[in-house]
A and B are shown apart, each in its own frame.
Chain A
Amino acid sequence: MGTLELKQSLTGHRGRVWSVCWHPKGANLASCGEDKTIIIWGLEGPKWVTKMILTEGHSRTIRELAWSTCGNYIASASFDATTAVWDKKSGQFECNATLEGHENEVKSVSWSISGQLLATCSRDKSVWVWEVNDDEYECAAVINAHTQDVKKVRWHPHEEILASASYDNTVKIFKEDAADSDWSCIATLSSHTSTVWSLSWDKIGNRIATCSDDKTVKIWREYKPGNDMGVATPNNESVWKCVCTLSGYHTRTVYDIDWCKTTGLLVTACGDDIIRIFKEDSDCDPHQPNFTMVCSADSAHAQDVNCVQWNPTIPGQLASASDDSSVKIWFYNE
């Protein structure tokens, strides 16, 4: 078993912290929560300190934030039904665009790898794709494929393919049709028996890990048309199959999951206050993979863990956010 070493507990938020996001270079971290602020943290010597506090962008809870691939923009999704985009053209981070259109709470936001597309999703059941042109944001698609509250959107690590997770228990995958530039649902991943709270693509982008209120984690694999396994692909679109279910580990709702792009480790945030880490067994059948729990940090937080994210550049470093008002920085030792 590995160990999760607490490096620092960061306090500053008032009330529940919903989300953390690393800057793509890994030297800064941003967090947000019910106090309607975004805090940007950075290292000063060995200690993490508050570098900046962004306020007045939202009138209600900030549910999630996302740093653009270039590191110059932060998008924040709020219960006030808007998504704000912050940039630091003036030297300081400022909110210079507010994206409106969702009928109610925006739950999640994600930038595509190119930075040209932004996705948002809401309790209004829709997923929106926004096109970015010279700091102008134009709605390119409103996708009404889910039947309930949409909890999470995440872009493919290399392509303009989008995945979303919902209260309707499914994950859906969307792609733009080159012929009529319409965004449509190309796959529905059904197997969870309750709300799917989050999802994470693997490094290559042909697998997705999902976590749910049903207390399980599932691993899904893409089977492209003409695959060697003989998996049928109707409509000449990829089919996604659940190839592994991790059950019996989590005792309450699993709120978040992150698949490390450098180490391949999976980390989960759970309503039982525990952060768990899973590792794929070497030499297992890729069509029937096996994951082993290599770490379980009891009472990682004093209350529910809402979000976990691996540092994109420092293998083993991770950040977590909790209902207990704190953000924590950890290091996983094998």
Chain B
Amino acid sequence: MGENLENINPKLYKKLDDREITVEEQDEDVADEFDAREIFDIIRNINDPEHPLTLEELNVVEQNLIEVNDRRNTVDIKFTPTIPHCSMATLIGLSIRVQLLRALPARFKVSVEISPGTHVSEAAVNKQLADKERVAAALENSMLLGVINQCLAPRN
């Protein structure tokens, strides 16, 4: 997708420092719940479909736009497309969904939505991402799944 970049010169953002692991977290006898930082760590290194950059570096995902309620099994994520008419918004949302689907226990209900007011087709993209039947059908499409896996593959 190198030839026709929609956003030629995206703004870059500083990455968060690595998470410090506390003594409590290393203690196997202490049950620790999922928190926003942990969810952020799962999705921060997803690659942008257009740029050799992560969603964190492009500020598409941010820790403070993640809400987690471990006891109620909910994870709500808002993401911010780099430009308001980004045609990759659905693909980015889908990549976030798939990453969490694979990483989190099945009990979690994940919602992935565009940060309010940051995209021209916000409602349509949100509706599509929330429709689990259409998401399931999309993930059976091997071409699309290939593209998503590329976004999710770690870079060295």
- Residues in A lying within 8 Å of B, measured CB to CB: 16, 34, 60-61, 63, 79, 104-105, 107, 123, 149, 151, 167, 194-195, 213, 252-253, 271, 302-304, 323-324
Contact = CB atoms under 8 A, between A and B. Distances in A.
Given A302-B107, A303-B106, A213 B134 contact: no
Interface string B129-141: 0111110110010
Contact of B134 (A149, A271, A302, A324): A149
Contacts of A63: 133
Contacts, number: 36
Contact of B136 (A34, A167, A195, A253): A34
Given A167-B131, A304-B132, A61 B137 contact: yes
A271 B109 contact: yes
A79 B106 contact: no
Given A195-B127, A195-B131, A303 B107 contact: yes
Q: Secondary structure at chain A's binding surface: helix, strand, loop or mixed?
A: loop
Nearest to A15: B136
Query: Which 5 A-B pairs rank lowest in CB-CB distance, beginning with the nearest?
Result: A105-B137, A79-B137, A60-B140, A79-B140, A303-B106
A309 B107 CA distance: 24
B108 to A, nearest CB: 10
Contacts of B106: 302-303, 323-324
Nearest to A63: B133
A16 B137 CA distance: 13
Contacts of A16: 136
Contacts of A151: 133
B140 A213 contact: no
Nearest to A272: B109
Given A123-B134, A195-B127, A271-B109, 13 more contacts: A34-B136, A61-B136, A63-B133, A79-B136, A79-B137, A105-B137, A123-B137, A195-B131, A213-B127, A252-B109, A303-B106, A303-B107, A323-B106
